[in-house]
Amino acid sequence: MRYDLIVKGGTVVTPSDSYKADIGIRNRKIAVIGELEKAEGEVVDAKGMHVVPGGIDVHTHFDMPFMGATTADDFATGSLSAVCGGTTSIVDFAIQTRGKSLMHGLEDWHKRAQGKSLVDYGFHMIIVDLPENRVKEMDEVVREGSPTFKLFMAYPGIFMSDDATIFRAMMRTRENGGTICMHAENGGVIEVLVKKALAEGKIDPKYHALTRPMTAEAEATGRAIALAEMAGVPLYIVHLSAGDAMEKVRDARARGLPVYAETCPQYLYLNYDDYERPDFEGAKFVMSPPLRPKGNEDRLWNGLRQNWLQVVSTDHCSFCMKDGVGGKPGKVLGKKDFSKIPNGAPGVETRLPLLWDAVQAGKLTENRFVEITAASPAKIMGLYPKKGLIAPGADADLVVIDSKKKHTISAKTHHANVDYNPYEGRVVRCSIKEVMVRGRRVVKDYKPLATPPHGSFVKRDARSN
């Protein structure tokens, strides 16, 4: 039997088990899993290594204008960074322009990604304003394969929606089969605290964290859950950072509500102390929600093991520290006022290596790793069973991980277009050996092919009500 590609001799990891097998790929899909002694075809040697489903990062911001800046990574460099780190699909956030239709925003993001992305991609739709006569536009966005809407309870004047708008969007989403993604922080409270801090002359990056308390996240998370319960709609809390907020999700799930949450590696590996670094270095970590005090991360690790948190995504949103890199102003915009530091940090390339290192450290099983990086995001976001699993018929999105080789994370070697790495110098006990996107080899030994093939837009499924 002939295959286009055979991944040979690796340990295949699924959410439920791990076993030694070869994988035969034909027509860009997994054709067979088993012992392929006599099969013919180009071979990827995975002996002594693990084979996991391509990572699915359902929270990236590529080519995003935000807070007077534009992200350092567009779809070309962001997706290069993603694939070199073992992520083969992303879901990015298309943004509605205030006053314009949702479809206008979606089409804009299609133009930004098309012909640039090296990985498969989809879009969530960020709703900026939603008067009554605009609500029905949500249905078309769902039909076009983007059944998830992000709403903000923070960023007054930029993205923030009031409870009535949120509830209107939720009720429509209940009908059209979509899911609501929520940025849950109490924007009103934060605004008061920010103004007070600035009036007292507190301008350094650390005040970003000190004006965004955990309780502001927990309160908004609880309110989002209550609104979603009243509307009868599934809710997905994005970039959850605080243990207190996680417990709201845990309790809602225990009551049987369709509530899900993701956290991100920065909340598992970094903490408030990073804001105390001298010379404006804390700006590297200015993101929302902010990094939390040491100790909080243990609660999140536990939540990941208990399935109180279902997904780890990255919220990759890169801004350079030095002005002018790539011609784009970045973190220096907030040198004299922490509230003007563009919010966000890079991470799409380091998610899988950091979490596989957690497997090596005994914090997660390799099966749970597959669940939180691929299977569970695929299920929640309407990509399953096309993506997120290793099984005949699924897209041949595969990553070979070498656990014997160590890798030092650094901005000198990463593939993102940003001049720092939040995990600079951290050693992970693994390296990305091979990455295949729908059956095509794209990365070998952490290096991309000279002319890597492009990924495609993937329509995601809505719920069948």
Which residues form the interface with Zn ion (CB under 5 A)? 183, 315
Rounded CA separation 304/357 (Å): 15
The token pair that represents 74 in the structure block: 């567009």
Nearer Cβ to ligand URP, position 10 or 344?
344
* φ/ψ (deg, to 5) at 364: -135, 150
Smallest distance from the beta carbon of 154 to ligand URP, in angstroms?
A: 7
Q: Which of residues 40-79 bind ligand URP (CB under 6 A)?
A: 61
Q: Which of residues 259-288 bind ligand URP (CB under 6 A)?
A: 287-288
Angle between helices 243-254 and 214-231 (to 10 degrees): 20
* φ/ψ (deg, to 5) at 401: -110, 130
Burial of residue 17 (number of CB atoms within 10 Å: 0-12, 13-18, 19+): exposed
Nearer Cβ to ligand URP, position 95 or 354?
95
DSSP 17: -
Residue 379 interacts with which of ligand URP, Zn ion, none, CB < 5 to 8 Å by class: none
Nearer Cβ to ligand URP, position 151 or 389?
151
Q: In 10 A of CB 156, how many CB atoms? A: 13
Smallest distance from the beta carbon of 92 to ligand URP, in angstroms?
A: 11
The residue whose two tokens read 């099969």 is: 39
Print the binding letters for residues 153-192 with ligand URP: x by CB under 6 A, - otherwise. Answer: ------------------------------x---------
Buried-exposed string 426-443: b where 16+ CB fall within 10 A, e elsewhere: bebbbbbbbbbbbbbbbb
Nearer Cβ to Zn ion, position 339 or 431?
339
Smallest distance from the beta carbon of 373 to ligand URP, in angstroms?
A: 19
Smallest distance from the beta carbon of 388 to Zn ion, in angstroms?
A: 21
User: By CB under 6 A, is residue 417 in contact with ligand URP?
Assistant: no
Smallest distance from the beta carbon of 344 to ligand URP, in angstroms?
A: 4
Residue 343 interacts with which of ligand URP, Zn ion, none, CB < 5 to 8 Å by class: ligand URP
Residue 382 interacts with which of Zn ion, ligand URP, none, CB < 5 to 8 Å by class: none
Smallest distance from the beta carbon of 409 to ligand URP, in angstroms?
A: 20
The token pair that represents 152 in the structure block: 């903000």
Smallest distance from the beta carbon of 112 to ligand URP, in angstroms?
A: 16
Q: In 10 A of CB 163, how many CB atoms? A: 12
User: By CB under 6 A, is residue 317 in contact with ligand URP?
Assistant: yes
Size of the site for ligand URP (CB under 6 A): 9
| CA dihedral of 31, 33, 37, 41, whole degrees rounded to 10 | 30
Q: Which of residues 210-239 bind ligand URP (CB under 6 A)?
A: 239
Smallest distance from the beta carbon of 127 to Zn ion, in angstroms?
A: 13
Nearer Cβ to ligand URP, position 339 or 343?
343
Contact 436, 449 (CB under 8 A): no
Nearer Cβ to Zn ion, position 9 or 187?
187
Rounded CA separation 304/287 (Å): 21
Position 140, amino acid: E
The token pair that represents 187 in the structure block: 């924007």
Contact 258, 234 (CB under 8 A): yes
Angle at alpha carbon of residue 217, lines to 381 and 250, rounded to 5°: 60
Q: Which of residues 335-364 bind ligand URP (CB under 6 A)?
A: 343-344
Rounded CA separation 412/429 (Å): 19
Smallest distance from the beta carbon of 21 to Zn ion, in angstroms?
A: 37
The residue whose two tokens read 């690790």 is: 301
Distance of CA 196 to the CA centre of its chain: 32
**R_g over Cα of the chain:** 21
Residue 287 interacts with which of Zn ion, ligand URP, none, CB < 5 to 8 Å by class: ligand URP
Q: Which of residues 7-26 bind ligand URP (CB under 6 A)?
A: none
Nearer Cβ to Zn ion, position 74 or 315?
315
**Residues that bind ligand URP in the complex, under the rule CB under 6 A:** 61, 183, 239, 287-288, 315, 317, 343-344
